[in-house]
C-alpha cells in the first residue's frame, strides 16, 4: 500500500516494489484515502509520505497513528525528504508496537532498493526502523561529553544498530555475532551510557535516541 501525493514517484515506487517482490495492493495521494484503502485492502505494510495534503506538514505521522489504532497488525513506513529526530521519536513512541512495526526513512533511500526492501520487511515483522542516516548523524555529532568516544568500535556499532531499531537477534545477524555476545555488548553500552536496560525494544530505541540527542 503506497500513499504519496507525488503521482510519478508513487508509480515509480510501485514498480520498484514490484521488482523487489512485494505486491502493491493500493495507491493513493492523501491520508484520508489511505485509511479507506487500508480498511478494504488489509495490507501488511503501508508506505506513506510524511508530508501530504492538506497542510503538507506531518500528516503521515497522524495517519500512522490512526492506522495503528485501526489495524494493530499493520506496519507503517514513513518516507520523508527530511529526517528529524523529533519525528522519529514521535513515531517510535506512538506507532511502534510488537504486533506491527513502524519505520521512518529518508525518501532518497528508495534508490537503494535493498535498504528499502529490508525496511519494509522489518516493519512488517513488527520492528522499529529508524533511518540509518539519522542515526549516524546523531552518533557522529560533535559533543563535549567523551562517553561515546570511550566506546569500542563494536560497542558503537551496537549502539547505532540499536538506535536504528534493530533487535538483538537482528544485531547479531548483522554483525555476525552470537546472540549472547550481542546481549553482553548491549548491557555494556547501557552501563557506559548510564541508561537503564529495557527489555522492550521500542523503549530501548527511544532511550538511545534521547541519549544521543541530549548529550
Partner 1 sequence: MTAPARAGVLAGRTVRTRTVSGPRPAGLGGARGGAVAFLASGSFYGAAVMWGGADPDAVAVAKAGAALLATWSFFVAGFVALARRPGSMLGALMLTSGAVGTLNSLTYVNHPVAYAIGNLASPLFILLWLHIAISFPEERGRAGPARRVLLYAGYFVIVPIVTVAQVLVEPAHYGCDTCPPSGVFAAGYVVARPYQLTVIAVFTVTCALVLMALCLRWYRASPPRRHVLLPMLPATVSAFTLAAAGWVGTAVDRPEVATAVLVADFGAYAASALWPVGFLVSLARARLHRSVVADLALSLDAPLRPAQVQQALADALRDPTLRLLLRPPDHERFVDVTGRPAGLPTAAEQHAVTLLEGGAGHVVALVHDPALDEDPRLIRAAATTVLMAIENERLNAKVMAQLAEVQGSRSRIVEAMDAGRRRIERDLHDGAQQRLVNLALMLRLARSRLEDGHRARPVVDEAVSEAEAAIEELRELARGIHPAILTDAGLGPALESLAERARLPVKVLALPGRRLPPTVESAVYFVASEAIANAAKHARANEVTVAVDEEGGLLRLVVSDDGIGGADPHGPGLRGLSDRIAAAGGRLSVTSSLSHGTRITGEIPLTWG
Name the site residues for partner 1 (rule: CB under 8 A). Answer: 6, 8-9, 12-13, 15-16, 19, 51, 56-58, 81-82, 84-87, 107-108, 110-111, 113, 137-138, 141-144, 213-214
Rounded to the nearest whole angstrom, what is the least distance from the CB of residue 180 to partner 1 in the complex?
34
Secondary structure (3-state) at 32:
helix
Rounded to the nearest whole angstrom, what is the least distance from the CB of residue 153 to partner 1 in the complex?
22
Nearer to partner 1, 51 or 166 (CB): 51
Nearer to partner 1, 95 or 170 (CB): 95
Q: Decide the pairing of beta strands 45-49 and 2-3.
A: parallel
Residue 177, all three cell numbers: 555475532
Nearer to partner 1, 196 or 214 (CB): 214
Q: Residue 129: which of 87, 157, 186 has the closest Cα?
A: 87
Q: Residue 118: which of 21, 2, 14 has the closest Cα?
A: 21
Q: What is the number of other CB atoms lying within 10 angstroms of the CB of residue 127?
A: 24
Q: Decide the pairing of beta strands 2-3 and 102-106.
A: unpaired
17 touches 43 (CB < 8 A): no
Rounded to the nearest whole angstrom, what is the least distance from the CB of residue 53 to partner 1 in the complex?
11
Nearer to partner 1, 179 or 213 (CB): 213
Rounded to the nearest whole angstrom, what is the least distance from the CB of residue 126 to partner 1 in the complex?
26
Rounded to the nearest whole angstrom, what is the least distance from the CB of residue 129 to partner 1 in the complex?
19
Residues 6+ apart with CB under 8 A from 180: none
Nearer to partner 1, 82 or 184 (CB): 82
Amino acid at each position: 500500500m503506497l500513499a504519496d501525493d507525488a503521482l510519478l514517484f508513487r508509480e515509480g515506487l510501485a514498480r520498484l516494489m514490484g521488482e523487489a517482490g512485494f505486491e502493491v495492493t493500493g495507491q493513493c495521494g492523501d491520508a484520508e484515502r489511505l485509511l479507506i484503502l487500508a480498511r478494504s485492502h488489509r495490507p501488511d505494510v503501508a508506505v506513506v509520505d510524511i508530508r501530504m495534503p492538506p497542510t503538507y506538514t506531518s500528516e503521515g505521522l497522524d495517519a500512522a497513528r490512526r492506522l495503528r489504532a485501526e489495524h494493530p497488525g499493520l506496519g507503517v513506513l514513513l518516507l520523508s525528504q527530511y529526517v528529524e529526530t523529533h519525528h522519529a521519536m514521535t513515531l517510535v513512541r506512538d506507532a511502534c508496537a510488537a504486533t506491527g512495526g513502524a519505520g521512518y526513512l529518508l525518501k532518497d533511500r528508495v534508490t537503494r532498493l535493498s535498504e528499502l526492501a529490508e525496511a519494509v520487511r522489518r516493519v512488517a515483522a513488527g520492528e522499529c526502523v529508524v533511518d540509518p542516516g539519522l542515526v549516524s548523524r546523531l552518533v557522529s555529532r560533535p559533543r563535549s561529553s567523551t562517553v561515546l568516544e570511550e566506546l569500542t568500535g563494536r560497542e558503537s556499532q551496537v549502539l547505532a544498530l540499536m538506535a536504528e531499531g534493530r533487535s538483538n537477534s537482528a544485531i547479531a545477524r548483522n554483525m555476525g555475532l552470537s546472540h549472547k555476545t550481542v546481549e553482553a555488548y548491549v548491557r555494556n553500552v547501557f552501563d557506559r551510557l548510564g541508561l537503564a536496560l529495557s527489555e522492550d525494544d521500542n523503549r530501548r530505541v527511544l532511550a538511545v535516541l534521547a541519549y544521543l540527542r541530549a548529550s
